[in-house]
Structure 1
Amino acid sequence: MVVFSELGAGQSNQVNMYYGDRWRLHRKMTHMGVGLQQVRNYRDFQNDESKVVALDLIHNPEEYVKHFERYATSVVSIIGFGRRVSSFMDPIITEVIAVMQRAAELNVPGKTFPMLMESFPFLANFPNWMAPWKHGLGQKGRGRPFFYALAEEAATSASSQQCYAKKIFDEAPKHKLSKMEISSLSGNLFGAGSDTSSSTLVTFVLACCAFPETMMKAWGELDRVVGPHRSPTFQDEPDLPYVKAFVKEVFRWRSVAIIGGQPHAPIKDDRYKGWFIPRNTWVQGNVWAIHHHEREFPEPDRFNPDRYTKGSAESRPFPGEKGYMTFGWGRRVCSGQGLAEQGTFITIARLLWGFKIEKAVDERGKEVGVDIFDFTNGLNMRPNPFKCRITPRNLEIRATIEREGQQALQDLSQYDGETKYRMSTYYATEKL
């Protein structure tokens, strides 16, 4: 890719790297942070952060999107840097997510500058001083990249908290990792994990508003298994088949990465079903088309968890074991899939247990409709802003949310802290 590779981090970032020894090293190091063997260790603080989301929704439900962004960012910040994010006003959220969303908007070849350089690569050869369409891309700075500074700060902190940044710096001399490589390893975790997970939860809210009948079935299951005096836990998962199906349908119905993330490319010429695919040709998986195929998913735009319940007349066999392909394929399947699935399950289970999520009403008390096709336009997508009503299901549940939320804040206090860096000012103040 011209913009995101040749003019960006290039072969220092796993996303852009050609397959080989260095790529395998980066993949291995990413698994040190969010691999399947690691993510079970994160359940306690993931669970506590989702309890804080429920508490926040009681006191300020109108800002539900910001609460989701704080939650997702805080989880990956604890993993990456040993430090939680306590407020949705923290610049580390607003700035990083804004950058991620801007990148997703731009990362559509031919849509606009600078991405027209993907369609017309010769435009990238012009020097920056005479090429305003490059937006400054391709300039090699001499200072420390932003996420390197964050990782270094965490790795050298006197805090006893173990975190991914410390693991990276322990391994860096052995593998001769450059500053850009360290920045990419920590930044990929932080940037991708915050925007995508929060977008999935916003989609969940939209589905509840548009298809309220699906919540009633979930309430019945949760009331039977959990009751009002505690919220769901990971241990409840085997007894909540409909809630698990609900989560699967959220992933399928409106997948965040609608074309499977970054493009792949074959490392040698290939032929497939009569098509000749030359080496290095972009190959993009169309997740939207797969997830909306009438054969596997009749009425694909209807949000229907029963597609995934065993014995249901509406279920269909699907080629993928999980029933969806939200996280991509092959060697480059999303490294954070296990973390995302784990966190999405516990958060959706808790929100279904705790709240009525309904369409907003106007000044005359009439419900305001939602548009299930009104999404952002980019490589990653999320619903455009919409209003809704999020209220506790009953007083007993409200009291439980308050009690558990306050306890969660106490348990999470071990991760309290703040970074001295701000993305908006970092490059202006960093000494070269």
Structure 2
Amino acid sequence: MAISSIAATVFAILLGFVVLSYVRSSTQTRRVRGHLPPGPPPKWIVGNLFDFPLAKPWETYRRWAEEYGDVVHLDLPVKPIVMLGSLKAANDLLDKRSQIYSDRPQSVMLELLSFGWAFSTMPYGSLWRTCRKHFHEHFNQSIVRHQHSTTQLQESRALLKRILFTPELARQHIRSLPGSSIIKVVYGTRDASRTDTYVRLAETALDAARKASVPGAFMAELLPFLRHIPSWLPGGNARRFSEKYRPSVCEMRDKPFDEVQAAMAAGKTIPCVAYNLIRQLQDAHGTQELTAEQDTVARIVTAVAYAGAADTTTASIESFVLAMGLYPEVQRKAQVELDRVVGPSRLPDFNDLESLTYVKAVVLETLRWMPAVPLGIPHSLTTDDECNGYHLPKGTILMVNAWAMMKNPEDYPDPDDFKPERFLDAEGNINPDVRDPRTIAFGFGRRICPGSDFAISLLSICIASMLHVFEIKAGTDESSQPVVLTAEGCSEAISSPLMFPRHIVPRSAQAERLIRDVVVECED
């Protein structure tokens, strides 16, 4: 059995290289015929296959854009890729021609992980449109404001309590905030132990997605035949990785949804998105039993909300905390505003946010300074097209260097510095002439993230609450040595800071009392 498996693997590899050579020949023909955009010089047979950087690829892509232009072609054997290095290029193609640029490339690794249900990466079609419609119905700006903000406020204040009691676990508590908020909103879970279980489940599954989505991290994405190599053979890392994480991905999608269905079957009413969506679909079908298609749609909509909020929002909150440790003057300015608008006798709530202009600028700068999704989610071209006189063949994968756009000094002078003031005019109001980073951070065209309203709402109230009561500094390490913070993020598809402040304590005795009062209020 082992010998036949090895033989099959060797045959697959040889066959793959034959196919590779053929496709390379075809690619060269298209290059001559179609005048593809410029890019790094390809090598014989493999093209740019081994030019993909594994660490912080967005930095390499920016250098390529500076050398070859803002539309850079990578000559790959199986998947031709175009890197969009400027906002203008992204708008021209993904926004203005969204009818042909709204598809998604199919990821070998996400398929192996059974992550195909995520409609953020789902092919553009009827199922995607149905899922997105239902998602919008339950997470549009009005619904977030009137139905979900109470949970967001409660969870943000519970975060303050956790940090007060165990400040050494502050980063862990922050990582739980988005997940616990969305779990309560989507599945109505109130039991702390069950919520923690769901949060850990999401972290495991999404950790796999982050690692699998880094361009070049798995050669199976560029050479799909490698997916067939058994996990126990050299070169079988794609299958080894997916076999480890696939159970968590499936459980994240199904376990909390199944529990809501079981509760409904027992006659219970659960105020949450899953309950409301199931009832909505039952009424549309005229029966208590969902069709297979309705069941799929409901699981997708709820799981996507669960997955999306539990990851990108976490990275943004962590970036904010790091920025406060690096830029104490920003922290002081925001706290002066909070003291003036909110005062010392209560915590901020959503009614205060409109008057907290500088805090709003801090939120915008948090999104810009360390983008949570540096390369966005790839688009796929559904028909041949032209751009700047160059030919883009059908099936081309387009990647957006959102990180480079956020670091463009023409839009954002001194882009590496954390400067909320860049978004304010001379009167201290939000300046509409400065590019809003939300137009980059949440994607382009018809694939703009539908959960952006929920994410911004939670991020805003969390930032305002933490600034109002905590002092954030670098602190000291386990050896009592001063921590030297750096603004460096990880190289995963969802990029979060590598370092984190160690000193997060109440900024006054009154601030501590406010937090402790929240503990009594929650317990009551």
Are 1:258 and 2:380 matched, yes or no?
no
Are 1:132 and 2:236 matched, yes or no?
yes
Q: Report if aligned partners of 1:148, 1:179 keep a CA contact under 8 Å in 2.
A: no
Q: Report if aligned partners of 2:364, 2:438 keep a CA contact under 8 Å in 1.
A: yes
Which amino acid counterpart does residue 3 of structure 1 have in structure 2? V
In the superposition, the TM-score normalised over structure 1's length comes to 0.84
Matches of 1:199 and 1:321, distance apart in 2: 19
Gaps of 5+ in 1: 411-432
Are 1:238 and 2:362 matched, yes or no?
no
Q: What does residue 110 of structure 1 align with?
A: 216
Which amino acid counterpart does residue 170 of structure 1 have in structure 2? R
Offset at residue 185 of structure 1 (A) = 2.7
% identical aligned pairs = 27
Q: What does residue 152 of structure 1 align with?
A: 258
Q: Report if aligned partners of 2:381, 2:395 keep a CA contact under 8 Å in 1.
A: yes
Q: What does residue 31 of structure 1 align with?
A: 136
Q: Which has the higher contact order (CA 8 A, sep 6+)?
A: 1
Q: What does residue 222 of structure 2 align with?
A: 119
Q: Given the superposition, is the C-alpha separation of residues 319 and 392 from structure 1 closer, same or farther in structure 2, using an over 3 Å criterion?
A: closer
Matches of 2:339 and 2:257, distance apart in 1: 43
In the superposition, the TM-score normalised over structure 2's length comes to 0.70
Matches of 2:434 and 2:305, distance apart in 1: 29
Matches of 1:364 and 1:6, distance apart in 2: 45
Are 1:189 and 2:293 matched, yes or no?
no
Offset at residue 28 of structure 1 (A) = 0.8
Offset at residue 9 of structure 1 (A) = 4.3
Secondary structure at 1:295 match in 2? coil
Secondary structure at 2:399 match in 1? coil
Which amino acid counterpart does residue 328 of structure 1 have in structure 2? G
List aligned pairs for 1:307-326, cutoff 5 A: 307-311=422-426, 320-321=435-436, 325-326=440-441
Q: What does residue 215 of structure 1 align with?
A: 331
> 1:99-118: CA deviations, max 9, x gaps?
2123212212322xxx2111
Q: Given the superposition, is the C-alpha separation of residues 10 and 78 from structure 1 closer, same or farther in structure 2, using an over 3 Å criterion?
A: closer
Which amino acid counterpart does residue 394 of structure 1 have in structure 2? S
> 1:3-39: CA deviations, max 9, x gaps?
2454454764423322222211011122233222321
Q: Given the superposition, is the C-alpha separation of residues 23 and 319 from structure 1 closer, same or farther in structure 2, using an over 3 Å criterion?
A: farther
Q: What does residue 424 of structure 1 align with?
A: none
Are 1:303 and 2:412 matched, yes or no?
no
User: How many matched pairs?
Assistant: 403
Using the TM superposition, name which of 68-77 and 378-387 deviates more.
Answer: 378-387
Q: Given the superposition, is the C-alpha separation of residues 171 and 44 from structure 1 closer, same or farther in structure 2, using an over 3 Å criterion?
A: closer
Are 1:397 and 2:503 matched, yes or no?
no
Matches of 2:433 and 2:404, distance apart in 1: 14
Q: Given the superposition, is the C-alpha separation of residues 181 and 216 from structure 1 closer, same or farther in structure 2, using an over 3 Å criterion?
A: same
Secondary structure at 1:357 match in 2? strand
Offset at residue 155 of structure 1 (A) = 2.9
Q: Given the superposition, is the C-alpha separation of residues 362 and 195 from structure 1 closer, same or farther in structure 2, using an over 3 Å criterion?
A: closer
Q: Given the superposition, is the C-alpha separation of residues 155 and 320 from structure 1 closer, same or farther in structure 2, using an over 3 Å criterion?
A: farther
Offset at residue 314 of structure 1 (A) = 13
> 1:41-85: CA deviations, max 9, x gaps?
111111111111111111111111111122211111012110146
Q: Report if aligned partners of 2:322, 2:501 keep a CA contact under 8 Å in 1.
A: no
Q: Report if aligned partners of 1:81, 1:150 keep a CA contact under 8 Å in 2.
A: yes
Picking from 56, 63, 68, the partner of 2:174 is 68
Structure of higher CA gyration radius: 2
Using the TM superposition, name which of 209-218 and 386-395 deviates more.
Answer: 386-395
Q: Given the superposition, is the C-alpha separation of residues 125 and 278 from structure 1 closer, same or farther in structure 2, using an over 3 Å criterion?
A: farther
Secondary structure at 2:472 match in 1? strand
List aligned pairs for 1:381-396, cutoff 5 A: 381-396=495-510
Matches of 2:443 and 2:388, distance apart in 1: 21
Q: Report if aligned partners of 2:161, 2:515 keep a CA contact under 8 Å in 1.
A: yes
Gaps of 5+ in 2: 1-105, 286-290
Q: What does residue 91 of structure 1 align with?
A: 197
Matches of 2:129 and 2:185, distance apart in 1: 21
Q: What does residue 270 of structure 1 align with?
A: 385
Offset at residue 186 of structure 1 (A) = 2.4
Cα RMSD for the two superposed structures: 3.1
